[in-house]
Amino acid sequence: MVTRRANRARKNGIPCRAIVQLSAAAVLFALPGTALGQKTDTLTVRTGAKLVGDIKGLSRGQVNFLTDEMGTVQVRWPKVVTVHTDKIFEIELEDGRVLFGSLVPGGQDSVLIRADSLTLAVPTQTVVTLERIKSSFWAGLDGNLNVGLNFTQQNAKTDVNINGSVHYAARKTAEKGALGSIATGFNLTKLTYNFTFSRQDETDDIRRAQSGLSHLNQLASRWFWTVLLTGETNSQLSLDYRVSVGGGGGRFLVQSNKLDVAVWLGPAYSWEGFTGESSDSSFPFMVASDLTYFTWGALSTTISSNLNVMPILDDWGRWRINFNATASREVLKNLYLNLSVTEVFDSRPTSADANKNDFSFTTSIGWTF
């Protein structure tokens, strides 16, 4: 066939070498499973079945797995017995260690992590996350945007809520250790914003807004330090503004495929102004906890909460509490229905006319990217 095409090519003035190269390229594109776009990762599940495709990552107990037949599917990690991939991943274990390497089957319900020339055997279910090495800054960005609108006809009440966050995660430079290439932790920078507006007949409008910029640096064995800058305003509490800067240290008590729990504490400094009052400053001491629980199914559910208790060191007897809890239910891919409750409490606000607490309940539709 090539000879006949070559003869025809000579008549048309086309070099024979070009015909051979084009024919070879056509064969490569026609054959499935060649080196071009080949999917060679393998997941072995408890039924004994083997899935062949491309591992995109593991997070919150689910593997995103790209197949030729079904596209990208989610496989529950507890159903996976072992893994085989030659690609290099960031591999986070339950004990807080982060390794760079590939995975191959080990013994019963275990995998071998190949890091450089060394190999580490671990139970499969102790692997918490798998993340492909990111080649650019934009690949490390994640975020969400939530919008909610509630209207009650009986009292002509309207609530509007807009909130979202953007965060960037990057691993520290890998270091050589007893287990090969080991990342001593990661850096997480996060920007958040939350705005709520409420209007009701015969009452004053209520405006609430919070924004924050934080940076978390995870160390070995789940320990971390963090710094943050926050700003807020709340007409329900007669709070014109509050700007706080602080930091501290803490530890992830639990990091698993179902649950993350972290606690931390540290000092802060706040500037605040209440309606009709002069500006003031305070020294709160933050004692905080963060909890995230995830479940799987045809549609995933995430429950998260944050509690921050702050005794005021220079105004003994005064203390503040910020609490938030959110339940998110996936309704479509990357689209979520959110239910949130928030409680803000100040035992002794500097303005005598200010309320001590503000409770809010919001529903919203959210999109993750």
Structure tokens at 203: 């009452």
Q: What's the CATH number for 41-132? A: 2.30.30
Give the residues across from 196 on adjacent strands.
161, 208
Sequence-distant (≥ 6) Cβ neighbours of residue 260 within 8 angstroms = 252, 254, 290, 291, 292
Q: What is the DSSP string of 89-137?
A: EEEEETTS-EEEEEEEE-STTEEEEEETTEEEEEEGGGEEEEEEPP-ST
DSSP letter assigned to residue 284: B
- Residue 227's pLDDT is what? 96
- Residue 332's pLDDT is what? 83
- Residue 364's pLDDT is what? 92
* Separation of CA 114 from chain center: 26
Closest CA to 75 of 45, 107, 110: 45
Q: State in Å, rounded, how far the first CA of the chain is from the last one.
A: 50
Sorted by where each begins, the domain ranges of the chain are 1-33, 41-132, 138-368
Q: What is the DSSP string of 336-355?
A: EEEEEEEEEEESS-SSTTS-
Structure tokens at 349: 């606000």
Confidence of residue 19 (pLDDT cuts 50, 70, 90): very low
Closest CA to 294 of 256, 241, 248: 256
Pairwise pLDDT comparison (1 vs 350), residue with the higher score: 350
At 142-158, the pLDDT tens digits run: 888 999 987 665 566 78
At 184-218, the pLDDT tens digits run: 456 788 999 999 998 887 788 889 999 999 999 88
Query: Left if phi > 0, otherwise alpha if psi is -120 to 50, otherwise beta: which for 285?
Result: beta
Task: Give mean pLDDT, residues 84-96.
Answer: 85
pLDDT exceeds cutoff 70 at 173:
no
8 Å CB contact between 264 and 250: yes
At 216-273, the pLDDT tens digits run: 988 777 889 999 999 999 998 889 999 999 999 999 998 887 888 999 999 999 999 9
Task: Give mean pLDDT, residues 275-286.
Answer: 89
What pTM value is reported for the model? Answer: 0.70
8 Å CB contact between 113 and 122: yes
In CATH, 138-368 is 3.40.1830.10: no
pLDDT exceeds cutoff 60 at 51:
yes
